[in-house]
Amino acid sequence: MPRFAANLSVLFNELDFMDRFAAAAQAGFAGVECQFPYAYAPEDMAAQLKSHGLMQVLHNLPAGDWAAGERGIACHPDRIEDFRAGVERAMAYATALGCERVNCLAGIAPADADPGLLRATFLDNLRFAADRLAGAGIRLLVEPINTRDVPGFFLNRSDQAIALIEDTGSSNIWLQYDVYHMQIMEGDLAPIIEKHLDRISHIQISDTPGRHEPGSGEINYPFLFDFLDRIGYRGWVGAEYRPLTTTSEGLGWFRAAS
């Protein structure tokens, strides 16, 4: 059985954020992740983790002005200083939380920008972040995102991500494979996961259409969970989905997998 982590940015959202740690532990999760922890004091989050015996397994780098539509700034040539400041902030949180993985969102390609410049900027930013995080024992992840939900997102396929990782020359950059996004963009889930298994450090799950809980859509999650065990995947699987009703009512997939 894979190791499952509850994404507290989207699950148990009928509760205040700090109360979601207890709910995740009570439901049987051993790990938690969140999208952006920066609205909360790291010492308060660390206390919740310790109190409920949970591991913080992932959070994202700051991604710009989310409310204004930004979805990462790593490929933006005019945001390099903001990106680097975000790396320092993410590293401070990860260190305080004992979190060993930080995910980088490439961002939406600016209109009329030179694709070569965007790629070069992204590569330079990845190298910088990977080097800084390596010194703290933290892995840098990159995540392809589907362009149906986020039109214009710069990084949107597994092979594209692997090529970028290789071009950085860094040994501290890994693939975050989100099953929902990759089902939309490329399908062929099992062969692609197996192909890139040695570069995948984290997997996230939700079903399509709708980005709801496993079992609500077209993806055969019982097969996929068994497949991950068969091929020897040892990382975490983050449950990052929008519950159809309440989180507790939609955990049948988790109980079945457990």
Residues 81, 143, 166, 186: which is the catalytic one?
143
Q: Is 69 left (phi over 0), alpha (psi -120 to 50) or beta?
A: left
In the numeric block, which tokens belong to residue 121? 């900027």
DSSP lists the bridge partners of residue 4 as 237
Contact 126, 74 (CB under 8 A): yes
In the numeric block, which tokens belong to residue 147? 């362009």
Torsion of CA 61, 253, 4, 194, to 10 degrees: -80
Give the whole-angstrom CA distance, residue 128 versus residue 222: 39
Q: What is the DSSP track for 144-168?
A: ---TTTSTTBS---HHHHHHHHHHH
Q: How far lies 39's CA from each of 22, 35, 44, 251, in Å?
A: 19, 11, 11, 27
How many C-beta atoms surround the C-beta of residue 213 within 10 A?
25
Q: At what angle do helices 115-134 and 80-97 cross, to 10 degrees?
A: 30
In the numeric block, which tokens belong to residue 7? 């994404």
33 counts as catalytic: no
Give the whole-angstrom CA distance, residue 163 versus residue 165: 5
Residues 33, 100, 213, 240: which is the catalytic one?
240
240 counts as catalytic: yes
**Catalytic machinery residues:** 143, 240
